Amino acid sequence: MSNVYDFPGGIYPPERKQRSNQSALIQAPLPGRVILTLQQHSGQPATPCVAPGDEVKVGSVIAKREGMICSDLHASISGTVSEVGTTQITIDGDGQDNWERLPSLDWQRAEPSALLERLNESGIVGLGGAGFPTHIKARVVERHAIHTLVINAAECEPYITADDLTLRHHANEVLEGAQIVAKLCGAQHIMIGIEDNKPDAIKALKHALSNYQPINIELKVIPTRYPSGGERQLIKRLLNLDVPSGGLPADVGVLCHNPGTLLAILHAVRDGQPLVSRVVTLTGEAITQPGNRWVRLGTSVRELLEQAGLNTPELHQVIQGGPMMGSPLLTLDTPVTKLTNCLIAATLNELPPPPAESPCIRCGECESVCPVALLPQQLHWYARAQDDAKLERYHLFDCIECGACSYVCPSHIPLVVDYREAKSRIRLQRIEAVKAEHAKHRFEFRQARLAREEAEKQARKQARQAQQRRSSTSAAASSEKVDLRGLRIAHAAAKASVKKAEKTLARVAQEDPKQSLDDLEMQLATAQENLKAAELQLAQAREQQSSEESP
């Protein structure tokens, strides 16, 4: 394929990756205590299923999935649960590192349903972005036809080298993880997109590609430019496909995963290992031993940085993520989560505060670098004026918050901050607007639950009557005619409603991971209750008909 495809805009900030990509990927020391937050991904937080005093092993489930857009949480060290709060679970380690693994699966022979269930029970979420649950993303084939799986190895953000080191050390395993996902989504083609500033990872991938691959894999090396790692930008560059405004990559037949997620998928399937650790880049001039570490989830950021030689007097701030899209940590007493891909311990000279903002001079620089071809200047004015109608018209929610516009602004206007605040305000308005609708959906859920309970009651009653008839020498025939056809239609309709609710929920969660999903989760729960009731009624009718027809 030629290298003629490209996306608009983009910038060339200092890469600063050399500080962390010069040493090998190693294991961080086993923490003595971990704090595991219940909200480690987009969607609903998990619900604790352990109590203080419980003994756990590495991989023991400590919080269960709640709702569709959610993920199980597992113990990352062996020891004793010391605290279960409303937002987190604390485990004191025993230093033994005893594991509880799931049985190994042969992914080439396993049924897709078994693989999906393995992803579900392994608690895997996307490790490169918003943390969307992988078991939901893997079911994309139920809603879209996928022709290409893209391995997003661009890792364009400055400082971060987690994917780079993952590929250097685990290229074969990442490609095998990609084969699993390709099998699940039906993709016939796998393409790797990687920037040309990762020569060692490219070399490792080329070597791995020389091995047999069930599905063809193409390696595409692209010039380094931020933000090539955005899903829309990478798809445009690799395949010359435009993801529509408000749409998803699946709308153009593409699915994207980053290397870390694919490696976690293989570990879950092949080794039965839930997601209990991840690769984290430790960098910045305030630490003396930068590099990449395998870190257990729940490890204290302070403990991790001190192990890397933290120079506390020189430390100005710690940024979680990259300098373009990451956010400063308010305290170092915060734990590593599934979304922690990089920690930058920066000095004041390294990442100084931005200069004071001055008025916009309408230079148009922001527009020239926007990778989504938006009009950042207009969005800035409308955001400050809280003109939400204009913000919607100018596609505010297509903004990927890459920060390129803020980076080049000569007036030092925090444009992305404006966009984030505007998005939050609009999301809040949407929540207020749907509150009344949500109350209606809660009522419908209650009615559906009562209907399902009544159906279960009738099923038990019918079972007792059937037992009595079988023991009687003269069973009386039922006077009521069973409407099997009507019940089959009702069952099919209920099944379709569940599928529709799942599709809507998955799409909204992927389009806007920060949006509240409570109402959509409620609608799905209602549809599931209706389906259970319909299944029970249909089963009763079939049994009754069978009983009447038997001599």
The binding site comprises 360, 363, 366, 370, 399, 402, 405, 409
How does DSSP assign 269-326, residue by residue? HHS---S-EEEEEEESTTBSS-EEEEEETT-BHHHHHHHTTB-GGG--EEEES-TTT-
Distances (CA, A) of 403 to 12, 30, 311, 323: 12, 36, 29, 9
Q: Coil, strand or helix: which one is 245?
A: coil
Q: CB-based contacts of 525: which residues, under 8 Å, 6+ apart?
A: 67, 445
- Exposure string of 172-184, with b = 16+ CB inside 10 Å and e = fewer, is ebbbbbbbbbbbb
9: left (phi over 0), alpha (psi -120 to 50) or beta: left
Q: Where are the beta strands (DSSP E) in 142-263?
A: 148-153, 189-195, 217-222, 254-257
As given in the structure block, the two tokens for residue 289 are 């031993």
Report the C-alpha gap between 57 and 274 in whole angstroms.
Answer: 12
Q: CB-based contacts of 215: which residues, under 8 Å, 6+ apart?
A: 179, 182, 183, 187, 188, 189, 190
Contact (Cβ atoms closer than 8 angstroms) between residue 127 and residue 261: yes
Strand partners, 191: 150, 218
Q: Give, in degrees to the nearest 5, the angle at Cα 397 between 500 and 437.
A: 45
Burial grade of 3 (CB within 10 A; 0-12, 13-18, 19 or more): exposed
Number of Cβ within 10 Å of residue 521's Cβ equals 21
Burial grade of 159 (CB within 10 A; 0-12, 13-18, 19 or more): buried
67: left (phi over 0), alpha (psi -120 to 50) or beta: left
Report the C-alpha gap between 496 and 374 in whole angstroms.
Answer: 38
Contact (Cβ atoms closer than 8 angstroms) between residue 319 and residue 328: yes
As given in the structure block, the two tokens for residue 411 are 């007036």
Report the C-alpha gap between 305 and 545 in whole angstroms.
Answer: 69
* Residue positions forming the annotated binding site for [4Fe-4S] cluster: 360, 363, 366, 370, 399, 402, 405, 409
Residue whose structure tokens are 């597992």: 74
Report the C-alpha gap between 50 and 38 in whole angstroms.
Answer: 12
